[in-house]
């Protein structure tokens, strides 16, 4: 099941983003009774839309045509930012008001009618380095690093190690653990303080700096009246504030981490990257509107303890707006250096993001744009390219391609060009989409796939279109001048694409095998590993996942890719987060070991178990099971990550960390985190 499809389906329901996000979270977290849930969901959506159609009419009796558009003033575009910006609060209010009144008809393009020109600016010539060469760094340091997409572009995760200490996020705490003795050295505890709380999501470790990213929330209550005449009916008004926060600690003394700095952007934390000593992080803030809102309640905030006035309002004239967006949020991008006190640099936009991809010099943020109807016709991916250097963020240019992307691995920068793979769908609607995802019906829509190459100004220079008709992209990996794309409907075609001439990309080879790979990992220049699922047909005629499968593909001959060998994982049913979260991968190139956490069902006893599996990679003999540790499903001890430091392997779960001898997988010590 692809949860991104549900979110894309929900984006077609033009109700408030709050409702859509809440509904999506319910879908994503549901693990049982899926078919019953989704049928109820479809009914609820229909009822909700009927109710909303009446509510929206009552919001404002003015005709939408009477609301003035943002002026078509070319001067609002500068050489440092190609997007127009609001010129005053009146314009911003009108935009927000139009959004509230016309969920099912308007997009930002209806009031942001100004043409956006592509600005040709000097950009850096840095190329992204695919992770096929990551083994070079692993040889230098014999401990786990986060499985990232682009070399030298770190990604935050819930666990990090520097080879001596383990830093782990769980239960609203950060544990700093001495790895060799497996003892807690210190705990950073984010307990609720009155009506304020911080929830850590993930971390970075950079020498003696620990960077914690998450969401800060506070609220106040006060008595209020609905109107001046209503003296009898006071009610409690709750005002809340949510900030995406980066907290930096000096951990040179591990026993007493020292708070160094806090930087915050209003909204919810979305994603981040760290390049050398610079952090770039992103938040989105839901935007609501009513006539009685004060300006300060509309404008987003930013905060930085490095300056005298820590919290500042972002002025409306500093807010740019995306054209042709179906999302009505503020998008804030902040950059700062973790070692100095230079103020955070912030760019703010009216519009939201779907995925981000970063090379060492550029950050790409995408958003999916629909045609305003309840289907995927004319769906496009809008791409915004930002130059990032010395923690500064400068929007360079904008481009678009047909279709939508699968995830961040659908994008890659090479020789200043962006390669992007998308699925284009037609005649699709939300009802058939959900029923297909439930495997009640087979896919009836028309689907095809494109791979597009854009130059440094995001102008198309090469394209392969309409390949794998009737199928969707399930995984993508770019390795230098070669691209690998897995599509799926009933079988798994692996496409090998020659990208050496960016103006003439060419499909060189195709391999069809049962099942599909939803994650591709480079092994060396001529071999790539695919991790995914075996499948079978259900009684409704749809295709469902069964157990897992891992394959080794030989791609030395581009025209004749081969599945050298594969291994089935689990007896009856198995799944792993590796299929949608690359950071859970355990990979030790020095020892040729690969593994991941897993949930599986025992065929004999129909009992669900949690644990992890590790395999030895041998190009001559195939995958060999190196070992597994399985236990009864328990949310307290279900394994979320597996890391190693030299000859010791560690599993982390919400309430314990366990060390094992990496050579024998015998348990060495257990550390209880329930304190």
For 615-667, write each residue's pLDDT tens digit. Answer: 999 999 999 999 999 988 888 899 999 999 999 999 999 999 999 999 999 99
Count the Cβ atoms, other than its own, within 10 Å of residue 330: 23
pTM metric for this prediction: 0.80
Instruction: Identify the band that residue 111 occupies on the pLDDT scale cut at 50, 70 and 90.
Output: very low
The answer to whether residues 212 and 159 touch, using CB atoms and an 8 Å cutoff, is no
Instruction: Identify the band that residue 369 occupies on the pLDDT scale cut at 50, 70 and 90.
Output: confident
The answer to whether residues 421 and 384 touch, using CB atoms and an 8 Å cutoff, is no
213: CB partners within 8 A, 6+ apart: 156, 200, 201, 202, 203, 204, 244, 245, 246, 247, 269, 272, 281
Q: DSSP label at 323?
A: S
368: CB partners within 8 A, 6+ apart: 8, 11, 326, 354, 379, 380, 381, 382, 404
- In terms of Cβ atoms closer than 10 Å to its own Cβ (0-12, 13-18, 19+), residue 136 is exposed
**What pLDDT, on a 0 to 100 scale, did the predictor assign at position 225?**
56
Distances (CA, A) of 514 to 61, 368, 576: 57, 31, 19
Q: Is the pLDDT of residue 375 over 60?
A: no
Strand extents, DSSP E, 151-309: 159-161, 165-170, 173-178, 183-189, 196-206, 209-224, 235-250, 258-266, 268-275, 278-286, 301-304
Write the DSSP assignment of 542-573 as a string of letters.
Answer: -EEEEEEEEEEEE-SSTTS-EEEEEEEESSSE
Instruction: Identify the band that residue 598 occupies on the pLDDT scale cut at 50, 70 and 90.
Output: very high
pLDDT tens string 87-109:
888 888 887 777 655 443 434 43
The answer to whether residues 554 and 566 touch, using CB atoms and an 8 Å cutoff, is no
SS3 39: helix
The answer to whether residues 156 and 169 touch, using CB atoms and an 8 Å cutoff, is no
13-22, 203-212, 432-441: least confident range? 13-22
Instruction: Identify the band that residue 65 occupies on the pLDDT scale cut at 50, 70 and 90.
Output: very low
**What pLDDT, on a 0 to 100 scale, did the predictor assign at position 166?**
98
**What pLDDT, on a 0 to 100 scale, did the predictor assign at position 243?**
95
* DSSP-H helix ranges across 74-233: 89-101, 135-140
The fraction of the chain above a pLDDT of 70, given in percent, is: 72
**What pLDDT, on a 0 to 100 scale, did the predictor assign at position 541?**
73
The answer to whether residues 504 and 462 touch, using CB atoms and an 8 Å cutoff, is yes
SS3 671: strand
Determine the distance from the C-alpha atom of residue 403 to the mean position of all C-alpha atoms in its chain, rounded to a whole number. 18
Q: Residue 323: what are its φ and ψ, rounded to 5°?
A: -90, 145
pLDDT tens string 270-326:
999 999 999 999 999 988 778 888 888 889 999 999 998 999 999 999 988 776 556
**What pLDDT, on a 0 to 100 scale, did the predictor assign at position 442?**
53
pLDDT tens string 220-247:
766 665 555 555 555 555 567 899 999 9
CA atoms of 15 and 100, how far apart (whole Å): 9
Distances (CA, A) of 74 to 204, 319, 673: 41, 16, 58
**What pLDDT, on a 0 to 100 scale, did the predictor assign at position 301?**
94
Q: What is the mean pLDDT of residues 374-380?
A: 67
- β-pair type (648-653, 656-661): antiparallel
The fraction of the chain above a pLDDT of 90, given in percent, is: 56
Instruction: Identify the band that residue 216 occupies on the pLDDT scale cut at 50, 70 and 90.
Output: very high
CA atoms of 516 and 435, how far apart (whole Å): 20
CA atoms of 100 and 199, how far apart (whole Å): 30
The answer to whether residues 641 and 635 touch, using CB atoms and an 8 Å cutoff, is no
CA atoms of 471 and 495, how far apart (whole Å): 13
Write the DSSP assignment of 616-675 as a string of letters.
Answer: EEETTTEEEEEEEEEEE--TTT---EEEEETTEEEEEETTEEEEEETTT--EEEEEE---
CA atoms of 553 and 566, how far apart (whole Å): 9
Write the DSSP assignment of 380-449 as a string of letters.
Answer: EEEEEEEEEETTEEEEEEEEEEESB-SSGGGEEEETTEEEEEEEEEES-BHHHHHHHHTTSS---SEEEE
Instruction: Identify the band that residue 368 occupies on the pLDDT scale cut at 50, 70 and 90.
Output: confident
SS3 65: helix
Chain position carrying tokens 């030895």: 616
Q: What is the mean pLDDT of residues 53-62?
A: 35
**What pLDDT, on a 0 to 100 scale, did the predictor assign at position 433?**
59
CA atoms of 361 and 278, how far apart (whole Å): 12
Instruction: Identify the band that residue 14 occupies on the pLDDT scale cut at 50, 70 and 90.
Output: very low
CA atoms of 343 and 269, how far apart (whole Å): 19
With both helix axes pointing from N to C terminus, report the angle between 34-59 and 89-101 in degrees, rounded to the nearest 10. Answer: 130
CA atoms of 367 and 346, how far apart (whole Å): 19
CA atoms of 614 and 302, how far apart (whole Å): 44
Q: What is the mean pLDDT of residues 68-85?
A: 41
Instruction: Identify the band that residue 169 occupies on the pLDDT scale cut at 50, 70 and 90.
Output: very high
**What pLDDT, on a 0 to 100 scale, did the predictor assign at position 605?**
67
**What pLDDT, on a 0 to 100 scale, did the predictor assign at position 386?**
93
**What pLDDT, on a 0 to 100 scale, did the predictor assign at position 675?**
62
Q: Residue 364: what are its φ and ψ, rounded to 5°?
A: -115, 130
Q: Is the pLDDT of residue 191 over 60?
A: yes
Chain position carrying tokens 């943002």: 70
C-alpha torsion sign, points 252, 255, 259, 265: positive
CA atoms of 138 and 144, how far apart (whole Å): 8
Distances (CA, A) of 1 to 107, 435, 474, 545: 30, 12, 10, 8
Determine the distance from the C-alpha atom of residue 600 to the mean position of all C-alpha atoms in its chain, rounded to a whole number. 25
SS3 36: helix
Write the DSSP assignment of 115-149 as a string of letters.
Answer: PPPPP------PPP-BGGGTHHHHHHS-B-----S
pLDDT tens string 341-354:
999 999 998 876 77
Q: Which two structure tokens, joined as six digits, stand for 309?
A: 């006035």
**What pLDDT, on a 0 to 100 scale, did the predictor assign at position 371?**
67
pLDDT tens string 520-575:
999 999 999 999 999 888 877 778 888 999 999 999 999 999 999 999 998 888 99
- In terms of Cβ atoms closer than 10 Å to its own Cβ (0-12, 13-18, 19+), residue 182 is middle
Mean pLDDT of the chain: 80
pLDDT tens string 261-272:
999 999 999 999
**What pLDDT, on a 0 to 100 scale, did the predictor assign at position 254?**
97
Q: For the chain, which residues make up each domain, given as ranges? A: 580-675
**What pLDDT, on a 0 to 100 scale, did the predictor assign at position 487?**
94
* Entry field: residues in the chain: 675
CA atoms of 624 and 614, how far apart (whole Å): 9
Please, what is the end-to-end C-alpha distance for the chain in angstroms? 36
């Amino acid at each position: 099941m692809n949860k991104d499809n549900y979110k894309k389906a929900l984006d077609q329901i033009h109700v408030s983003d709050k409702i859509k996000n809440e509904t999506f979270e319910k879908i994503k977290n549901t693990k049982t009774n899926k078919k019953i849930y989704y049928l109820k969901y479809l009914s609820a959506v229909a009822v909700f839309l009927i109710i909303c159609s009446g509510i929206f009419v009552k919001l404002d009796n003015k005709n939408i045509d009477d609301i003035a558009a943002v002026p078509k003033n070319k001067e609002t575009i500068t050489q440092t930012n190609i997007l127009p910006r609001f010129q005053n609060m009146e314009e911003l209010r009108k935009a927000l008001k139009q959004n509230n009144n016309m969920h099912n008809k308007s997009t930002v393009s209806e009031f942001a009618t100004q043409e956006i020109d592509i600005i040709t600016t000097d950009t850096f010539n840095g190329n992204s380095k695919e992770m096929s060469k990551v083994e070079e760094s692993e040889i230098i340091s014999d401990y786990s690093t986060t499985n990232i997409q682009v070399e030298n572009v770190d990604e935050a995760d819930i666990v990090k190690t520097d080879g001596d200490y383990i830093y782990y996020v769980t239960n609203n705490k950060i544990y700093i653990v001495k790895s060799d003795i497996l003892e807690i050295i210190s705990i950073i505890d984010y307990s609720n303080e009155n009506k304020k709380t911080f929830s850590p999501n993930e971390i970075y470790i950079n020498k003696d700096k620990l960077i914690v990213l998450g969401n800060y929330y506070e609220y106040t209550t006060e008595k209020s009246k609905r109107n001046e005449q209503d003296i009898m009916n006071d009610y409690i008004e709750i005002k809340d504030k949510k900030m995406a926060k980066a907290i930096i600690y000096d951990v040179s003394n591990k026993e007493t981490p020292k708070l160094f700095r806090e930087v915050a952007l209003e909204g919810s934390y979305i994603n981040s990257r760290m390049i050398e000593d610079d952090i770039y992080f992103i938040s989105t803030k839901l935007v609501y509107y009513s006539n009685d809102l004060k300006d300060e309640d509309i404008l987003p905030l930013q905060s930085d303890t490095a300056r005298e006035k820590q919290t500042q309002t972002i002025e409306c004239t500093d807010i740019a707006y995306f054209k042709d967006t179906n999302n009505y949020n503020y998008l804030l991008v902040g950059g700062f250096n973790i070692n100095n006190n230079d103020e955070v640099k912030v760019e703010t936009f009216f519009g939201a993001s779907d995925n981000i991809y970063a090379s060492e010099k550029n950050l790409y943020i995408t958003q999916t744009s629909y045609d305003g109807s309840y289907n995927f016709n004319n769906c496009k991916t809008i791409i915004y390219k930002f130059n990032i250097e010395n923690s500064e963020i400068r929007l360079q240019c904008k481009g678009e391609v047909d279709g939508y992307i699968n995830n961040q691995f659908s994008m890659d920068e090479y020789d200043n060009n962006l390669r992007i793979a998308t699925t284009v769908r037609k005649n699709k609607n939300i009802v058939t989409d959900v029923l297909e995802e439930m495997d009640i019906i087979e896919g009836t829509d028309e689907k095809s796939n494109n791979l597009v190459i854009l130059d440094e100004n995001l102008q198309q220079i090469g394209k392969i279109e309409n390949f794998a008709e009737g199928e969707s992209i399930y995984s993508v990996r770019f390795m230098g001048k070669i691209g690998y794309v897995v599509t799926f409907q009933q079988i798994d075609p692996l496409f090998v694409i020659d990208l050496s001439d960016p103006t003439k990309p060419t499909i060189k080879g195709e391999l069809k095998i049962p099942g599909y790979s939803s994650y591709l990992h480079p092994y060396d220049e001529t071999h790539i590993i695919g991790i995914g699922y075996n499948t079978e047909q259900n009684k409704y005629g749809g295709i469902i996942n069964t157990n897992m499968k891992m394959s080794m593909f030989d791609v030395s001959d581009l025209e004749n890719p081969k599945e050298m060998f594969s291994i089935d994982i689990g007896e009856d049913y198995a799944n792993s987060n590796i299929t949608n979260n690359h950071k859970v991968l355990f990979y030790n190139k020095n020892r040729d070991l690969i593994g991941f956490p897993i949930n599986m069902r025992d065929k004999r006893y129909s009992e669900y178990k949690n644990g992890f599996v590790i395999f030895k990679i041998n190009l001559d003999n195939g995958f060999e099971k190196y070992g597994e540790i399985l236990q009864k499903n328990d949310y307290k001890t279900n394994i979320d990550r597996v890391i190693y430091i030299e000859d010791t392997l560690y599993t982390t779960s919400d309430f314990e960390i366990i060390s094992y001898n990496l050579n024998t997988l015998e348990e060495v010590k257990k550390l209880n985190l329930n304190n």
